[in-house]
Amino acid sequence: MLIDTHAHIHFDDFKDDLADVLSRARKAGVKKLLAVGVNDTDSERAVALAEEHDYIWASVGLHPHDADRGDRALEKIKELAKNPKVVAIGECGLDQYKSDTTHAQQEYAIRYQIELGLELKRPMIFHVREAFPDFWRIFDSYAGIKGVVHSFTATDTELQEALERGLYVALNGIMTFTKNSDQLFAAKRVPQDRLILETDCPFLAPMPVRGRRNEPANIVYTAEFLAGLRAEPKTELFDASTKNAETLFGI
Ligand SMILES: [Zn+2]
C-alpha cells in the first residue's frame, strides 16, 4: 500500500476521467490520497473532492506563485482549514526560481499560513525552490512547526537542515529522471523514517511515463525506483513511507 501525499487531482486536467484515474490508483495500491490546494478557489475544490471520498483528504494553501492574492485568499483558506477533511496547510512556501510574485508577498503569505498551521495544530506542506536560506530564516522565527518539504530536489546540505528541524522529506518522479548526482545522493540519505512519497500530478510524471499527464497510480514507478536506488526491499520502503504519511497527516 502507498499514499500519494501530493496530488492535484481536483485540477481540470482530471475533469473528464477522474473516476478512471482514481480506480487505477486504487488498483495500483494507492489507498489514500491528499488533494493539495494551491490557492483559495482551488483549495475549495480540493476540500469538496475530499468530502466526496473517504480515502481522500485535503490540504489548503496559497502557493508562492499565487501569493499576490493576499489577505482575501488567506482568509478563505483559514475558513476552509476548519473543515474536518483538511489535514494540512499548503502548499505554501518560497519560490525564487521563477515567480511573478514578490519576495515580500511570498513572505507575508507563508508567515500567515505557518501561523494558521500552528494555531490549528496542522502539519505544513512546504514548496521551497531556490530559497532555502530565506526559508530557514522564516521557519526558525517560529517554534513547533511540523511538516514536509515537498518535491525535494536540493542537496544533502538542505536535507540535513530539514532533518535537524524535524521535517519530513517528500520525493517524487523527478528522482526517476534526474541526471543531478547531488539530488540522487540526497535521495539516498533521507532516513527511512522521514521519507514520504508523492506524485505532484498532473505534473512530473516519472519514468517510464515521463512527458504524459501524471496520475496517482504512477507513484509506484517512483517508489520502485527509490527502493532500487536506496537498495532497500520494496515492501520495506512502501510500508515505511506509508506509515510516515499516516503519522504526519493523521490519516
Ligand atoms: Zn504541487
Contact status, residue 58 vs residue 46, Cβ threshold 8 Å = yes
Span from the CA of 151 to the centroid of ligand 1 (angstroms): 8
The beta strand positions in 162-209, using DSSP E, are 168-171, 195-197
Say how far residue 130 (Cα) sits from the centre of its chain. 17
Nine-digit cell string for 177 = 529522471
Cell numbers placing 206? 516519472
Q: CB within 8 A of 52, min separation 6: which ones?
A: none
- The model's pTM is 0.97
Q: Looking up cell 490549528, which residue turns up?
A: 120
Q: What is the model's pLDDT at position 231?
A: 98
Half-sphere exposure of 161 (CA within 13 A, CB side): 16
Q: What is the pLDDT, as a whole number, of residue 98?
A: 82
Q: At 65, list the grid cell.
A: 506563485
C-alpha of residue 237 to centroid of ligand 1, in Å? 22
What is the DSSP code string of 25-39?
Answer: HHHTTEEEEEEE-SS
- Strands 30-36, 56-60: pairing is parallel
What secondary structure, in 3-state letters, does 214-235 show?
CCHHHHHHHHHHHHHHCCCCHH
- Residues (pLDDT < 50) of the chain are none
Contact between 248 and 241 (Cβ < 8 Å)? no
Q: What was the pLDDT predicted at 108?
A: 98
pLDDT value, residue 99 = 86
Query: What is the whole-number distance in angstroms between the Cα of residue 198 and the centre of ligand 1?
Result: 9
Cα 211 to Cα 183: distance, rounded to the nearest angstrom: 20
Residue 157 CA to ligand 1 center (angstroms) comes to: 23
**CA 200 to ligand 1 centroid distance, Å:** 5
Residue 70: other Cβ atoms inside 10 A: 15
Distance 199 CA to ligand 1 centre (A): 9
CA 36 to ligand 1 center in whole angstroms: 7
**Interhelix angle 40-52/70-80, nearest 10 degrees:** 10
Query: What SS3 state is found at 33?
Result: strand
- C-alpha 221 – ligand 1 centre gap (Å): 18
